[in-house]
Chains A and B, each alone.
Chain A
Amino acid sequence: FRTCREVTALVIAREDRIHFICQACPIFERQVLGMREALGAWRNYRDGA
């Protein structure tokens, strides 16, 4: 059992290289996954789709 600060650091780190007694961190995780999807859509958009 770790703090939200430690857990969100892992959730973010997972994008480039997990407490969920907590209601806030799963929301943070959904935001990060939303950004992942959005960045994929942006890349397609700029690549010509």
Chain B
Amino acid sequence: MSVPEPSSASPEQQAQWLERIEALRPTLMRLALLQLRNRAWAEDAVSEALLAAIEGLPRFGARAQVQTWVVGILKHKVLDQLRQRQREQQFEDGSDEEDPTEHMFLADGHFAQAPQVWNAPSEVLRQKQFLEVLEACMDLLPGKLGRVFLMREWLELGTDEICQELGFTPTNVWQMLSRARLRLRECLQLRWFGESRS
């Protein structure tokens, strides 16, 4: 469907754009919740992002896909939420999380069970079904690990920026990211790369 640029659009066409932006709400909510792990904070971030998108519509100019543009706005609003909540309540670091390597290795440091080859060509890793399993696995990460991991992988912050935002030491952040990656690997092994798909 061809829709004219918002800046030169008629009121009817403007209404079409608003409809398209509003239709993104479930996706935005899903992403905000994945990062913030708190429904009220996520609703605040999504509402602010939608409002900013609607206000920015005349300047949007159809330079990018609507979803790309609105998700970009949401990332800023989610980061604002993280900063605001960080001021209100210090996030604990995740150093008390269980170490996933405890059961991966024997006492002598060798694998308890050799890792399985994942027969996953690039095309498979981009299938919607796989991406939804991957997202479900990220959703299962414990709150603190999940929040830090998504700051790295979705908001694309460097570890130094994460340290600055959350007041953690680099060692803490690296440890949390490592544990999150190991848990993600374990979850994908269980939910996607199990025997039936290998």
| Binary flags per residue of B125-161, CB closer than 8 Å to A gives 1, else 0 | 1101011001100000000000000001110100100
Cα–Cα, bound, A8→B104 (Å): 11
User: For residue A3, which residues in chain B have a CB less than 8 angstroms away from its CB?
Assistant: 105, 108-110
Cα–Cα, bound, A42→B132 (Å): 8
In contact, B118 and A37 (Cβ under 8 angstroms): no
Cα–Cα, bound, A5→B112 (Å): 10
Q: Which residues between 1 and 22 of chain A lie within 8 Å of chain B, taking CB atoms?
A: 2-6, 8-9, 12-13, 15-17
In contact, B115 and A31 (Cβ under 8 angstroms): yes
Contact of B71 with A by CB under 8 A: yes
In contact, A32 and B185 (Cβ under 8 angstroms): yes
In contact, B174 and A16 (Cβ under 8 angstroms): yes
In contact, B182 and A12 (Cβ under 8 angstroms): yes
Cα–Cα, bound, A13→B171 (Å): 11
User: For residue A15, which residues in chain B have a CB less than 8 angstroms away from its CB?
Assistant: 177, 181
Contacts between the two chains (Cβ within 8 Å), count: 98
Smallest CB separation, A5 vs chain B (Å):
4
In contact, A46 and B185 (Cβ under 8 angstroms): no
Smallest CB separation, A6 vs chain B (Å):
7
Contact of B36 with A by CB under 8 A: no
Cα–Cα, bound, A27→B114 (Å): 9
Smallest CB separation, B50 vs chain A (Å):
15
User: For residue B72, which residues in chain A have a CB less than 8 angstroms away from its CB?
Assistant: 47
Contacts A16-B159, A27-B116, A41-B131 known; A48 to B177 CB distance under 8 Å?
Answer: no
In contact, B118 and A31 (Cβ under 8 angstroms): yes
Cα–Cα, bound, A15→B135 (Å): 19
Contact of B118 among A4, A30, A45 (CB under 8 A): A30
Closest to A38 in B: B125
Contact of B184 among A28, A35, A46 (CB under 8 A): A35
Contact of B125 among A27, A30, A34 (CB under 8 A): A34
Contact of B196 with A by CB under 8 A: no
Contacts A9-B101, A13-B178, A39-B134 known; A47 to B115 CB distance under 8 Å?
Answer: no
Rank and list the top 4 A-B pairs by shortest CB-CB distance, nearest first: A3-B109, A48-B67, A48-B68, A5-B109
